[in-house]
């Protein structure tokens, strides 16, 4: 089992920032950044869980739901990586944490 607490903590921090942001800030790009990240994490989770199947795209449910979408996608990926065979998710986990941190920085929140 792999410790994915760093990923879930990074996702929660960014989601909390999105939840606390004013609508104007979300509409200026923070929500789009969060949705793009949620979609990427969801695709990674789907590919790990169902290799060979075409990943489904997470819908755009609006600027006020992005934080929740991010948490769902991040937790899904974390759980898949946590239960993956030993050694296999280490690089994927570090890359996912990097993606979350970079997206949070780009969002300006």
Rounded CA separation 109/49 (Å): 31
Closest CA to 41 of 14, 2, 1, 19: 14
Task: Look at residue 95 in the predicted model and tell me its pLDDT.
Answer: 95
Report the SS3 class of residue 52. Answer: coil
Task: Look at residue 88 in the predicted model and tell me its pLDDT.
Answer: 66
pLDDT less than 50: residues of the chain: none
Task: Look at residue 90 in the predicted model and tell me its pLDDT.
Answer: 67
Cα–Cα distances (Å) from 63 to 17, 66, 101, in that order, read 13, 6, 20
């Amino acid at each position: 089992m792999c410790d994915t607490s760093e990923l879930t903590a990074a996702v929660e921090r960014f989601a909390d920032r999105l939840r606390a942001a004013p609508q104007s800030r979300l509409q200026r790009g923070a929500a789009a950044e969060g949705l793009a990240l949620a979609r990427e994490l969801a695709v990674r989770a789907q590919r790990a869980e169902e290799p060979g199947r075409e990943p489904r795209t997470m819908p755009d449910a609006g600027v006020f739901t992005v934080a929740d979408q991010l948490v769902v996608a991040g937790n899904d990926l974390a759980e898949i990586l946590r239960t993956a065979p030993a050694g296999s998710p280490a690089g994927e986990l570090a890359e996912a944490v990097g993606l979350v941190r970079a997206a949070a920085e780009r969002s300006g929140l």
